[in-house]
Amino acid sequence: MQRNCQTLTSEIINNDLKNKQMKKVSIIIVTYNSEKDIYDCINSIIGNSDIPLAEIELVVVDNNSIGCDTMFGKLKTLWGEDIILIKNSCNGGYGQGNNVGIRRCSAPLVLIMNPDVRLVCPIFHKAIDRFSKDKSMCMLGMKQWLTLEEPSTNSFTCTYMMNGFISTILSAICTRLDIYIAKYMHFSGSCFFINKAMFEAVGLFDESVFLYGEEDDIHYRLKHHFKDCKMVYDKSLRYLHLTKERQPDIKYEKMLIDVAVKQNKKKDYSEQKTLKNRLRCINLQIIRERLRIMHGKNNRTLLYMLEELKLYIKEKLQSRKQLK
């Protein structure tokens, strides 16, 4: 459900018009009790910027965190008075928070960035150059890493509408080969560049979705609104997403399934088809985990979660049959 949050204007540090006109890229970071991450995140921007910091507009939108005022004070010290800090009166969700920041920013190119992301190489000059030379560019995705030595398997993934067996196999092959196919895939929403004008033309983030699944929806709307828009994946541009220590989370996975159902309904793709696709994916993942256990893997946590997800989807499919 969409929540009506108000931004507290007293917490916005305004740039003057002269500074606004200098900005080449706006970085939007939404925080919610993210103080432990945000300082290292911004330090990584400072340490890896290959353009003058004066050309970067940094916008931090806080979704009504505890201790927000203290965090804002430290951020001004870290970045300088040029930072734009916006305090939401409530937590309206990830999409709503980003939309507040995008509407407030001034650069033609926007970088959406999670607070648990760390830049590890210069990315701005190449991204700005790509977008400025090719006006059909709408999005630029980058290579996601878990550590400096270990790549993530989540740089991109297949669309929610693809057949579950095909999407699982295609994702595995393309991830191994590091090949992104824009027609069938979307890249991770944790850190990506997007053309602001094009994003505004399709309505920005869907604020009715509180959290997760935004990438698939954004890709779909852009591709259908702009026939020739380009979504490019550049594996030479890298960032860390600090998710390596996260344990399998059944609540999170169930939420992803529910979001996929909601997003696909907007595309006239039935709930039953979406659930069956997810069930096919999970069945293949269960087989994979059982094979790993047969070859000596001791941790069965993921297998147990997948089996619970399988049951969850079957129950939803069964309840749908009973409603007919």
Domain ranges for the chain, please list them.
Answer: 7-142+188-237, 250-323
Of the candidates 21, 14, 62, 57, which has an alpha carbon nearest to the alpha carbon of residue 38?
62
Question: How many Cβ atoms from other residues are within 10 Å of residue 203's Cβ?
Answer: 12
Show Cβ contacts of residue 18 under 8 Å, excluding neighbours closer than 6 positions.
none
* Token pair 């941790």: residue: 299
Show Cβ contacts of residue 69 under 8 Å, excluding neighbours closer than 6 positions.
11
Distances in Å between the Cα of 98 and the Cα atoms of 25, 60, 127, 207, 307 are 15, 9, 20, 10, 34
Strands 117-119, 109-113: pairing is unpaired
Residue type, 265: K
What is the reported pTM?
0.90
Domain 7-142+188-237 superfamily per CATH: Spore Coat Polysaccharide Biosynthesis Protein SpsA; Chain A (3.90.550.10)
Digits of tens for pLDDT over the chain (324 positions)? Answer: 555 666 654 344 444 444 445 899 999 999 999 999 999 999 999 999 999 999 999 999 999 999 999 999 999 999 998 999 999 988 999 999 999 999 999 999 999 999 999 999 999 999 999 999 999 999 999 999 999 999 999 999 998 888 888 998 999 999 999 999 999 999 999 999 999 999 999 999 999 888 888 899 999 999 999 989 999 999 999 999 999 888 888 998 999 899 999 889 988 999 999 999 999 999 999 999 999 999 988 789 999 999 999 999 999 999 877 765
Return d(Cα 268, Cα 277) in angstroms, integer: 15
